[in-house]
Amino acid sequence: MKRFISHEELARDSRFKRAAARGRLLESLPDEVEGVVALMEQVAPTLRKRVEGTELEKVYDELGPGYPFLTQFGSLHPEDPNVDVQLRVRLHGIFVGELQALEGAGRTLWDFPEAPWEFRMNMARQCWDESRHCQVFEKLLDHVGVDVGDYPETTTLFEAACADDPTLRVAGVNRCLEGLACDAFRAMIDYAKEADDPVMEQAIDFVLADELTHVRFGSNWVKQFTRSDPDKFREAKEFQRDVERRFSIGSGRSGRDDAAIGIAREERLEAGFTEEELRELAEIADQGPSRDTLVEAAKVLRARHLARERGEPVEPMTWRPEEAAAG
Ligand SMILES: [Fe+2]
Ligand SMILES: [Fe+2]
């Protein structure tokens, strides 16, 4: 069996709709409405293509290319008018994330046959957990009336984290992605409490307990693999920072007040993150446009999208970052 497969080789049945990776656009959006509108309109055709044939197609057609800011970026609250689509998209995203986590851990076990036996046992244990998580989230999809494949799947998690080196692999998968899972699950549990949904609350609480263990595997093995190799340690840190950057956007996941998903401090500390690492993570995540900017931009994008649909002329949005920066 082949080692080191690419994300394109991940096997899916015909229910799944694979979308091209979202690229790194979100990391570079400015904190200005015009800038967000101009950049999102540039990628609008790609975004539209990505949702084709999924439940998001009609969401896009109603809201235009800024739909993610109205449906995926806010924190989840039962009274939010978009809560249904927000919850569905998020649960489906987590379900495919669990699949990729299973694939990531399985590949790590297979890709590094020379790694210590305890390491491979940890990865085997993780596979067992992740397959249970896939089943838990498949049932939660059922619980909210979503079918597998209703929403597109991006393989960003697998792509970003599956390095060809065991130290970087666990730094990316176990510390960044499993850490991100802790953040996301803490936020989902808070939502389930608020929505008085004990099934969801308890199911995700069980999963979160496992994710802590997976982060801990990462913390332990990065330490062990780099014990007498400071260069490798620095390389792992840099890789981790880069992966964190891809998934930490101010009003997406961060420590900011307007973040959709906060940083699960307690869980991360328990799983081997240091205070300094948490500070660094907050710093990385601190950049990017505010939630208010994104919502405002989404409204402008919707108005322009609907005007175009009606056949009205819409001037292209011009935005020059240099001028904006110069004030
Ligand atoms: Fe998981
Ligand atoms: Fe996990």
Question: Residues 122-176: pLDDT tens digits?
Answer: 999 999 999 999 999 999 999 999 999 999 998 888 888 788 999 999 999 899 9
Domains and CATH numbers, the chain: 26-71+290-320 (no CATH), 79-286 (1.20.1260.10)
The token duo for 62 is: 């109603």
Confidence of residue 29 (pLDDT cuts 50, 70, 90): confident
Q: pTM to 2 decimals?
A: 0.91
Separation of 131 CA from ligand 2 center, angstroms? 10
Asked if residue 286 has pLDDT above 90, the reply is no
Ligand nearest to the CA of 132: 1
Separation of 96 CA from ligand 1 center, angstroms? 10
Separation of 35 CA from ligand 1 center, angstroms? 36
Separation of 259 CA from ligand 1 center, angstroms? 22
Separation of 28 CA from ligand 2 center, angstroms? 28
What tens digit of pLDDT does each residue of 266-281 get? Answer: 999 999 999 999 998 8
Q: By C-alpha distance, which of 96, 99, 124, 98 is closest to 110? A: 124
Which residues sit with Cβ closer than 5 angstroms to ligand 1, an ion?
98, 101, 130, 133
Ligand nearest to the CA of 178: 2
Separation of 124 CA from ligand 2 center, angstroms? 12
